[in-house]
A and B are shown apart, each in its own frame.
Chain A
Amino acid sequence: AQTVTQSQPEMSVQEAETVTLSCTYDTSENNYYLFWYKQPPSRQMILVIRQEAYKQQNATENRFSVNFQKAAKSFSLKISDSQLGDTAMYFCAFRGDDKIIFGKGTRLHILP
C-alpha cells in the first residue's frame, strides 16, 4: 500500500525567507503523480504544484518549486520569498492508479 510521510508537523519562518517542506512516499508503482496542496484557514484545498513521475525536470510555479528525487522517493516543496498569505497547512499527496493519498500535513506560519 502507498504511504505518504510528512515529517515536519509545524514550521515557522520570517517573511521573505525561503522554506522547504519535506515529503517522502512509498510505492511499488512506476507511473504516478505527486502534488502539494495548500489549505489556508478558510479550509479550502488549493493545488499548489504537480509533478509527473516520468518527468525528470522539477516542476515550478512562480515562487513554488519542488525537488523530486524518484529513486529516494522524496518530493519536497520550496517556497521562495515567503509571504504572509503563504500561512497555511500544506499537504503532500500521491496518486497512483486511482487513489490519491495524503500526508498528515505541515502547518506553516509566515511571521511578519
Chain B
Amino acid sequence: AQRVTQPEKLLSVFKGAPVELKCNYSYSGSPELFWYVQYSRQRLQLLLRHISRESIKGFTADLNKGETSFHLKKPFAQEEDSAMYYCALSSGNQFYFGTGTSLTVIP
C-alpha cells in the first residue's frame, strides 16, 4: 500500500537558519512525489515536484530511493515560509498525502 509519512507535525526555526521538512514514503513502483504548501488563509498549492528537479522559492527536494525519502530543504528560512507543508505521492489516478508539517519561522 502507498503511504506517505511526515514525522514532524510542528517545526520552528529562526529566520536565516536552514530548514528541512522530512517526508518518507512507501511505494512498490517508481513514485511521483510532490510538495504542496498552504499559506495562511490561502488554498493548498503545488510547491514543487521531484520530476522537474527545480528550486522554488529557494526550496529543493531530492528523491532518495534507497532511503525512500523526499525531504524538503531550504538553506536560509524566511518569515514568509511559515505555512503548512504536505508531501504527496501520486499513484495512477490518485494522490496520497502526508499529515503535514506546520513550519514557523521565528523572526
Decide whether A and B are members of one complex.
no
Chain A residues with a Cβ under 8 A of chain B: none
